[in-house]
């Protein structure tokens, strides 16, 4: 590779090569000296049965105990994950309820799907009240709703849609506060930055792009396009400085916002099915990813190695979230069940 | 007409790319070091990573079984 010309030139060439060798290309290189993780024992601690068809989405309540889940058959159920009891159930007028979210107060849930809308249902413990009667239609898109999330309060909802846009809505009035245009195809997922880091959110779509948006201006501030297929899930790193993505290209990736680039990739030759949903453990050291091959892989975020593979679901894992205090995580699957793991 | 529309779209794209190119960046080595530091600092609080004392994880508690 190096031509031997004068001895001075060869010395320069070798030094340059050494410099390049020391350039840091990713997180795994920096974390080489970090102690490897030991064996993990994570088991299914609860199985939530009751949906009549594929579970498509779930979310935790801030009380770290209640869970809302939505299904292809149009049902949205609120569970007490400690006892596995169903506390509320509502049937949506559409099938494929692809998105659901718990309000920060714990007093309402939002959901939507093929109806192209996001609706908010207040949760009431009055047995005489019909939950569906108090339904409020908040968001209107021109294609399916793929994801929704309340912001810091019950007052605003962020939505992502198959129409290629995201939007911010006022719950009370149903008014559109801001819309986010830029994806070249369906938007499949979104995640809000942890509240300390300000008013941004990240979205992922069928255009293979992950985009970071300023919620106030509607502007895309950063975009990342290294995945080779649809991005099904995006989730912020707990510090807010990075986010992970899961894609149909069978990889998960970590993007650092301040370095403005991909800094890690989580993949194995043996993993050939798409990753449908990802979430971090509390410290950000572990990345849990649910796949279309029915498994959940647990990755060491720093070292890039897989530390565990969890079996149990009998069909695709479609949704996965770590509980608010990090003591457990819940997965939902096309096998009609949800599992709580710890 | 159609060429006018695509010129506009391309101009908007160029503006967007200029905006994105103007973002201040830090080195990957520094970014990675800070991600690692965050992990280390919070590892002890991470129940799924280090485990918690028996009985304090509500999901690991054995549930009582009532037989009627």
A281 Cβ under 8 Å from any chain B Cβ: yes
> What pLDDT was estimated at residue B22?
85
Choose among A182, A239, A283: nearest Cβ to B49. Answer: A283
Mutating which of B15, B35, B53 best tests the A interface, going by the most A Cβ atoms within 10 A?
B35
Alpha helices in chain A (DSSP H): 7-22, 27-30
β-partners of residue A321 are: A330
Choose among B19, B31, B41: nearest Cβ to A259. Answer: B31
Per-residue pLDDT tens, chain A, 342 aa: give them.
Answer: 444 445 555 555 555 545 555 567 789 988 888 998 988 889 999 999 999 999 999 999 999 999 999 999 999 999 999 999 999 999 999 999 999 999 999 999 999 999 999 999 999 877 667 788 889 999 999 999 999 999 989 999 999 999 999 999 999 999 999 999 999 999 999 999 997 767 999 999 999 999 999 999 999 999 999 999 999 999 999 999 999 999 999 999 999 999 999 999 999 999 999 999 999 999 999 999 999 999 999 999 999 999 999 999 999 999 999 999 999 999 999 999 999 999
Task: State the Cα–Cα distance between residues A280 and A107, nearest whole angstrom.
Answer: 26
Closest by Cα among A212, A169, A160 to A187 = A160
A45 Cβ under 8 Å from any chain B Cβ: yes
Cβ-based contacts of B39 with chain A (< 8 Å): 283-285, 301-302
pTM for this model (two decimals): 0.91
pLDDT digits (tens, 9 = 90+) for B21-63: 888 899 999 999 999 999 999 999 999 998 877 677 888 766 5
Assess contact for A320 and A332: CB atoms under 8 A.
yes
Q: Are strands A108-112 and A55-60 parallel, antiparallel or unpaired?
A: unpaired
> What pLDDT was estimated at residue A1?
44
Domains of chain B: residue spans and CATH: 24-67 (4.10.260.10)
Residues 6+ apart with CB under 8 A from A8: none
Q: For chain A, how big is the Rg over CA atoms in Å?
A: 22
Choose among B16, B20, B59: nearest Cβ to A340. Answer: B59
> What pLDDT was estimated at residue B68?
46
> What pLDDT was estimated at residue B4?
65
Q: Write out A284-323 in H/E/C secondary structure.
A: CCEEEEEECCCCEEEEECCCCCEEEEECCCCCCEEEEEEC
Confidence class for position B64, pLDDT limits 50, 70, 90: low
Task: State the Cα–Cα distance between residues A272 and B39, nearest whole angstrom.
Answer: 29
Higher pLDDT, A269 or B3: A269
> What pLDDT was estimated at residue A4?
45
pLDDT digits (tens, 9 = 90+) for B14-30: 998 888 888 889 999 99
Collect contacts of A116-125 with beta carbons under 8 A, ≥24 apart.
Answer: A116/A140, A116/A141, A116/A142, A116/A143, A116/A144, A116/A145, A116/A161, A116/A163, A117/A141, A117/A145, A118/A145, A118/A148, A118/A157, A118/A159, A118/A169, A119/A92, A120/A157, A120/A171, A121/A76, A121/A90, A123/A78, A123/A87, A123/A88
A256 Cβ under 8 Å from any chain B Cβ: yes
Assess contact for A295 and A272: CB atoms under 8 A.
no
């Amino acid at each position: 590779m190096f031509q031997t010309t004068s001895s001075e030139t060869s010395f320069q060439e070798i030094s340059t090569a050494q410099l390049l060798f020391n350039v840091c290309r990713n997180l795994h290189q920096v974390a080489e000296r970090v102690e490897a993780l030991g064996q993990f024992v994570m088991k299914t601690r609860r199985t939530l049965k009751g949906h009549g068809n594929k579970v498509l989405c779930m979310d935790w309540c801030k009380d770290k105990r209640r869970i809302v889940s939505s299904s292809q058959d149009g049902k949205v159920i609120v569970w007490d994950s400690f006892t596995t009891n169903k506390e509320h159930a509502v049937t949506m007028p559409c099938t494929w309820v692809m998105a659901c979210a718990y309000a920060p107060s714990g007093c309402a849930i939002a959901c939507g799907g093929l109806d192209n809308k996001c609706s908010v249902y207040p949760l009431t413990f009055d047995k005489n009240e019909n939950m569906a009667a108090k339904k409020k239609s908040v968001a209107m898109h021109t294609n399916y709703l793929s994801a929704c999330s309340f912001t810091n309060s019950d007052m605003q909802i962020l939505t992502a849609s198959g129409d290629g846009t995201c939007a911010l809505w006022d719950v009370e009035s149903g008014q559109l506060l801001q819309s986010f245009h830029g994806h070249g195809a369906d938007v499949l997922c979104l995640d809000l930055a942890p509240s300390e880091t300000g008013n941004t959110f990240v979205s992922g779509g069928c255009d293979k792009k992950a985009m970071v948006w300023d919620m106030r201006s509607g502007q895309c501030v950063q975009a990342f396009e290294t995945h080779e297929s649809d991005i099904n899930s995006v989730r912020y790193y707990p510090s807010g400085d990075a986010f992970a993505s899961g894609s149909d290209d069978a990889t998960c990736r970590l993007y650092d916002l301040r370095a403005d680039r991909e800094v890690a990739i989580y993949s194995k030759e043996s993993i050939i099915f798409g990753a449908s949903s990802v979430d971090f453990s509390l410290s950000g050291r572990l990345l849990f990813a649910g796949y279309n091959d029915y498994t959940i892989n647990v990755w060491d975020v720093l070292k890039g190695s897989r530390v565990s593979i969890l079996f149990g679901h009998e069909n695709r894992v479609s949704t996965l979230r770590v509980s608010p205090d990090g003591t457990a995580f819940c997965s939902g699957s096309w096998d009609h069940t949800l599992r709580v793991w710890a | 007409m159609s060429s006018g529309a695509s010129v506009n779209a391309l101009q908007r794209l160029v503006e967007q790319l200029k905006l994105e190119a103007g973002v201040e960046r830090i080195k990957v080595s520094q970014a990675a070091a800070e991600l690692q530091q965050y992990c280390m600092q919070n590892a002890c609080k991470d129940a799924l990573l280090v485990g918690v004392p028996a009985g304090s994880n509500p999901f690991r508690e054995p549930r009582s079984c009532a037989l009627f």
